[in-house]
Amino acid sequence: MSELPIKKTDSVFDELQSMQDRIMKRAYEIFDLNGNFGSDLDNWLQAERELIRKPAIELSEKDNYFNVEVEMPGVNPKDIVIEVTPDELLVKAEMRDEKKEQRDKVYTRELKTGSLFRAVVFPKKIDPDKVKAEFKNGLLKISASVAPEKEAKKVNIHAA
């Protein structure tokens, strides 16, 4: 099992915006090729399918820790990037197709290259300094400590 680095960041918004921009650009290219008016959603969904894979996850909580499991078969651990804020987790990786010399006819090929991209919003705040990630056999396991809830402060009013 290999431990992975965690990047603490202020916001994952820029990364989400960048991915949305890539999808929008590809959706326009699809529209430009097909010229189908009224197919905006279909073009968008096709662009999403072409550009990103959204890996399956499980998010659970036990003993003041969130545990996130992300299925990432075929991914090299050094290609995984994990970013975390007190509210969110972003996992991304690039899948590369290692070209092998083909001597046989290929009848079906479903192995994909491209981006794996998954954002998770935690139901409670976490402590970004207490996040750990391990990767083994295509399964990324992340544990994040739930941040202690801050109690409301009582403000005393002084009469003048």
In a domain, 132, yes or no: yes
The b-or-e profile of 41-55 (16+ CB within 10 A means b, else e) is eebbebbbeebbbeb
**Most confident listed range (2-11, 18-27, 74-83):** 74-83
Position 111 scores a pLDDT of 65
Total domains in the chain come to 1
User: Three-class SS of residue 54?
Assistant: coil
In a domain, 8, yes or no: yes
In a domain, 158, yes or no: no
- pLDDT tens per residue, range 18-65: 888 888 888 888 888 877 777 788 887 887 777 778 899 999 999 999
Angle (deg, nearest 10), helices 40-51 and 13-34: 120
In a domain, 117, yes or no: yes
- pLDDT tens per residue, range 51-62: 778 899 999 999
Q: Strands of the chain (E only): list them.
A: 2-4, 7-8, 52-53, 57-62, 65-71, 80-84, 88-95, 114-121, 126-136, 139-146
Enclosing domain of residue 63: 2-97+109-146
Quote the tokens at residue 5: 């680095």
Per-residue confidence band for 86, with pLDDT thresholds at 50, 70 and 90:
very high
Domain CATH for 76: 2.60.40.790
